[in-house]
Structure formats: structure tokens, C-alpha cells
Structure 1
Amino acid sequence: MTKLIPETREWLEATGFAVVNEAPWLEALTHGSFNGGGNATSEADYQRLEFLGDRVLGLSVAAWLYSAGDAPEGRLSQRLNALVSGATCARIARNINLPDHIRLGKQAREDGGADSDNILGDVVEALIGASFIEHGYDVTRDQIYRLWDGELSGDSGKAKHPKSALQEWAAGNRRAMPNYDVVDRSGPDHAASFTVRVSIHNVGEAEGTASSKSEAEKRAAQAFLEEFG
């Protein structure tokens, strides 16, 4: 039976992940390419644990944001999407020196897989999933808060332009990119009024009205986040 190498087990413990059963941690650290890299036996990769960890991370961060103040739903969603984004997870991964411990196939490692934001973000979520399997929600939530301390107390997702926030929300939720259309223009040039509709396929649409097209787009994006975010 495959075991964690001592250096990786020591690293997990030092990072705050208490290892009882090694199996989920091995799985969390194993990329799909590892099984195609000449290994004698096929081993489970991190995808199932990543699916689980993504939900645990989202719930933990959402609970923290809810308790941290009285921001409206749209702003909470904006910060949540920034804090659980792939880029943030990859940043956490680098902070804890995760790249040295990912189990990659030879070609994937030579291609830079250990420094891929997508892979790093996925493995961080898989480790969260492994922690949940081993220790339950409360322990895992507290570990997330330790790892995300700098992000939670920082400016991630704050005061972001609504159009940027909406694009980030769409990407984070695996949705189509927002589409903006001018649906009405009225008034003389010196006092024009624009109404813009923003829509995301299979989600919904919202409108905003202002004296310029760009401001109307901004208001439409904000309205969309407040309704659907």
C-alpha cells in the first residue's frame, strides 16, 4: 500500500493538517497524470475530494463573511467569489509550499504543472476535502480560517467595479460571460439617458439606467449581482 513520503507527512502536520489515515491525503495530492506516468498501480486522483472541499470552503467563508458585518447580499457574494476563486486558492497553495508535494506525472511536472494556478487551486480544495473526511466540519473550518487569515482580513473582493465583479462571479460559477445590450436611448445628446440590459445565459438579466452607457452598464451589473449573486 502506497504511503505518504515522510517529508510530505511532516509538511502536512506542520501546515495544520493532522493525518490519521493517509489514504485521503494521498488522494488529495495526486493529479490525474500521476497514474499515467509509469506507476505500477492506478491511484485515485484529487477530483472527488476537490468537489467536496470546494463546498466546505464556500460554506466556511460564507459563514465568516456573514458574521463579520452587515454587508448586503450582493457585496457578500462579491467578496465570497474573490476569496474562494482559483487565483486565491493558488496563492494559498504557494504560501504553504504546496507545489513541492503534488504527485504529478513526469510530463505534467516538466510542463510546469506544479506551478499551474488551476492545479494548485484544485489541490488546496482537495486537501480541505480530505480534512473534512478525517476531522469533520468544525476542525476543517478553523483550518481554513488560519490559512485564509490574510485574505479574510485584506481587501479581496472589496470595492471592485461591478462589471469586474460580475465577470468574476460568472467565471467562479462556471457560467457564460455577461452580455451587455443598450435597450433604450432617449433625450438630447447633452442630456441623454441610456438603459443597458446585462444577461447571463441560463441565469437571468438585469437593467441599469444612467446618463452614459458605461455608467448604465455598471448599474446593470450591480443590479444583477444584487439579484442573482
Structure 2
Amino acid sequence: MTALLHESREWLERIGFEVKDAALWQSALTHGSTGEKQNYERLEFLGDRVLGLSIADWLYERSNEPEGKLAQRLNAIVSREMCAIIARDIGLGAHVRISKQARSDGGQDSDNILGDVMEALLGAQFLENGFGAARELVHILWRPALESGAGESKHPKSALQEWAAGNRRKPPEYEVIDRSGPDHAAQFTVRVKVHKVGEAEAVASSKGEAEKAAAKAFMDRFA
């Protein structure tokens, strides 16, 4: 494994990450398409949990909302889409180590890859500097989302489920009708149908986000 690039290390430290073991941080920035054994996958698994607990801690301390509302906000704020937004805000894409082919396929701006690497960096921060340092950085980077009220409105799939029940309709049915692109930059087309009402479609970089967008499109059209 080559050494962590000087500009990437400077960028990490400018953002607020505390770099000690350069090899660990290089792994966090490395996509599997490079063929290198040490990539971000294990760190992403860890960072996902660090992010979830850090956001849950923030919400619990600053809100008296019931568990259901807290969970609703948590799910929105730790979503892959939100992680990718944070990643773009800090300029992460330029530092992702990715194969030439994956780069040409748009991998450096993929929600999936940016979100995963963002979480991997949080995993590295936790391993090197402890949960307190990782939580503090999460609260800094995610503050705009936390203070904007992200996730306060009901999730579109939940809203559609409740609308269907309230109107005595069968539950909505979701179906993936198309999947295109390479694994690291996949696009999913999902159709949602409510019996005797209608249907709507949407495209996104993950099945979950496509279902969410389709539910929103359905509500905009029929509710």
C-alpha cells in the first residue's frame, strides 16, 4: 500500500480528523475497485454505528420528543443521502482512491461511495481518537442538518402507508422495475402502486431511496 498522500492528510486534518496511523486513513479512503485488500468496507461498518450513536446522543440531549419522533429524525440524518451531502460539503470526492474505470463511471460522485467513505472516516476517527472525538466531529459536520430540522416531517413511505390505511385502501406495493449501471454507481427504478388508486415511479442510487422518492411522487400526485 502506498503512503497516504500529503494533500489528503492535510485535508483530513483541516476538516478536524486527527491522523496518526496513515495506513488506517488510507484504507478509509480506498474503494474496493482498486483491488487493494485494505479498503473502507470494515471501517464503514464501524463508522455507521459511530454516526448513529453520535446523532442519537445529540437528539436525546436537545429534544423532548417521543421515541417515534426521535427515530424518524435519526433515520433521516444518518441516511446514505445525508452522508453523501456532508461528504460533498467537505470536498471528500477528490480524495477517494478509486479505479480509473470506477471514476469514469461517476464513482467519485456516487451517493453510495461518498456515504460509505464518510462513515469509514468516522470509523477511523473512533479507532484512533476515541468515541468522544468522533462524536464531537459528527456534531460539527452534521450541525447544519441537525439545526435545520431535517427529518422532522414524516418519511414519505410512512406517510403513504398511513394515507392508504386512512382511505381504506390496500397497503402500497413497491417493485424494482429496473436496475442499471455498475455496482458502485447503480441506479434503481421503483414503482409503487396502490390498488384502485394509481402508481408512480422514481429513480435513485439505492433501492431504499428510490422507494422513498416513488412514495413522495405518489403522494404529490394522488393525496
TM-score above 0.5: yes
**Structure-1 separation of matches of 2:42 and 2:20:** 19
Select 2:74's aligned residue among 75, 80, 87: 80
Of 113, 125, 132, which aligns to 1:131?
Answer: 125
How far is 1:198 from its partner?
Answer: 5.3
Q: Deviations over 1:134-184 (max 9, x none)?
A: 011001000100110101101210123x5x1538xxxxxxxxx979976xx
* Other-structure match for 1:24: 24
In the alignment, does 2:48 pair up with 1:63?
no
Q: d(CA) in 2 for partners of 1:51 and 1:72?
A: 28
Give the share of equivalent positions with the same residue, in percent.
51
Q: 2:72 aligns to what SS in structure 1?
A: helix
Give the match for residue 6 of structure 1: 6
Which of 142, 158, 171 matches 1:166? Answer: 158
Give yes or no for contact 1:180–1:199 (8 Å, CA) kept in 2. Answer: no
> For residue 187 of structure 1, what is the aligned residue in structure 2?
none
1:193-212 mapped onto 2 (5 Å cutoff): 195=168
Give 1:74 deviation, angstroms.
1.1
- Bigger radius of gyration, 1 or 2? 1
Q: 1:147 is matched with which residue: 141, 144, 163?
A: 141
CA-based RMSD: 2.5
AA of the residue aligned to 1:14: R
Q: Closer, same or farther in 2 for the Cα pair 1:179/1:32, shift >3 Å? A: farther
Between the aligned partners of 1:143 and 1:126, the Cα distance in structure 2 is 14
Contact 1:20 1:134 in 2 (8 A): yes
Pairwise CA distance, 1:110: 0.8
Aligned amino acid, residue 90 of structure 1: A
Partner Cα distance (1:56, 1:139) in 2: 11
- 1:43, distance to aligned residue in structure 2 (A): 3.4
User: 2:115 corresponds to which letter in structure 1?
Assistant: G
How far apart in 1 are the matches of 2:86 and 2:29?
Answer: 15
Divergent runs of 4+, >4 A: 177-182, 193-200
SS at match of 2:18: coil
Which letter does structure 2 place at the counterpart of 1:72?
P
Amino acid at match of 1:18: E
Aligned pair count reads 174
- 5+ residue gaps, structure 1, are 36-41, 168-176, 183-192, 201-212, 214-229
Measure how far apart 1:44 and its partner are.
1.0
Report how far residue 97 of structure 1 moved.
0.3
Mapped partners of 2:78, 2:157: distance in 1: 13
